[in-house]
Amino acid sequence: MLAHEVIRTVRAGNSVTRWHTRRMHKYETVGEHTANVLTIVFALCGDNSPSAELIGATLLHDTAEQWTGDVPATAKWEMPILKENLDALEEKMMSQNWLKTPQLTAEEKLTLKWADMLDLCYTCLGELDMGNRTISEVFERGVEYLRGLTPHPAGLKLLEDLIKEYKHAKV
């Protein structure tokens, strides 16, 4: 019965709609985002497959949004106490629902952070392709955020490719 409940909880988390504070041509779910992030994690790991812990952490990284919603990163950046309280609530709700995020090494945490933000940039490019000019500022904030992180070699290459495509898309 416990496995059944965990599966239902993760599935509920995967159905949460993202980007609800933005005008978008295509809204995605946490499940779609998670699949995209996992794809990027594999790309960032290159010839080395990601660990089971990194795969598990990626699969669960936004599951708690079913209880908190998809609070924009900019709100959490603007008010650190909000981020602290959301993190505490998410941890509490995950624990109450028998979900434990695997422990990651510092390198794995960095890989997941890069993959998550790269996915934001890829989503922005998709929106630009459909004519959503309002998404440019989000793309640019994502790039700025990534540039502020500890460099990830494969991530930097993907970022470079994204920026090239973005410049072409804006023309």
pLDDT higher than 80, residue 1 = no
Residue 150 lies in domain: 2-170
Q: What is the mean pLDDT of the chain?
A: 95
Decide: 136 and 170 in contact? Cβ < 8 Å.
yes
For residue range 86-97, what is the model confidence (pLDDT) as tens digits? Answer: 999 999 999 999
Residue 103 sits in a domain whose CATH number is 1.10.3210.10
Indicate the range of 31-35, 74-78, 103-107, 160-164 predicted with least confidence.
74-78
What pTM was estimated for this model as a whole? 0.94
Give the span between the Cα atoms of 55 and 160, in whole angstroms: 25
For range 123-140, the mean pLDDT: 96
Read off the pLDDT band of 171 (50, 70, 90).
low
> What domain count does the chain have?
1
Is 139 buried (19+), middle (13-18) or exposed (0-12) by CB count in 10 A?
buried
Q: Looking at residue 169, what is its pLDDT?
A: 80
For range 12-27, the mean pLDDT: 95
pLDDT higher than 90, residue 168 = no
For residue range 24-76, what is the model confidence (pLDDT) as tens digits? Answer: 999 999 999 999 999 999 999 999 999 999 999 999 999 999 999 999 999 99
